[in-house]
Amino acid sequence: MSYLVGVAFTDRNFREIEQAFAKYKDYLDSIKQSLPPAAYGFASAPWHYNPHDHRCPHDSWVESVVVREKSSGSRHEIRNIELAVRLLGAYHDGHLELSYISVVSYSFSSKQDSSGSNKGHGDWLVDEVRLSESNLVLHEIIFSSGSRWLIECQDIESAWIPLSSPAS
């Protein structure tokens, strides 16, 4: 069940948005013990859904997505997928970096605009962290272009990297 990704975020439905966030917060509290501390910390961080906080992913832009397939074993036969996402923050003053650890599945869908051209993902609109049917971390993200990401993994780590200001 999703809590935020199905809600139309407009000025006209403030009450519905408020209720969706309250239900999502209750859901996160109910699964706190089942989530790894880093994933829970990211999902429940006060800055995560506060658009006035520069670390908030809302309105940020995708700069890069890197898929790494790490290997081990005598023939490198043991494979492990990790995803690294780098976002330019909405205020363009830093990067939010997300690391998805031990990814078991992921899907990225992208939409083209009506002219048939692809103008990127657009703004990160909303996301939510849930438990998957396998009791793993599930992160769903919706972008303004209509693009949608769904990532199932063992954990999510996040880091905010401020851009250094130019020397005066």
**Can you give the pLDDT of all 168 residues of the chain as single tens digits?**
788 887 766 556 778 888 889 999 999 999 999 999 999 999 999 999 999 999 999 999 999 999 999 988 888 888 999 999 999 999 999 999 999 999 999 999 987 666 666 678 899 999 999 999 999 999 999 999 889 999 999 999 999 999 986 554
State how far the Cα of 130 lies from the Cα of 136, in Å rounded to an integer: 8
Q: Look at residue 146 and give its three-state secondary structure.
A: coil
39 membership: H or E segment, kind and range? helix 37-44
Q: In the structure encoding, which two tokens stand for residue 160, read together? A: 């905010």
pTM, two decimals, is: 0.89
Average pLDDT of every residue of the chain = 91
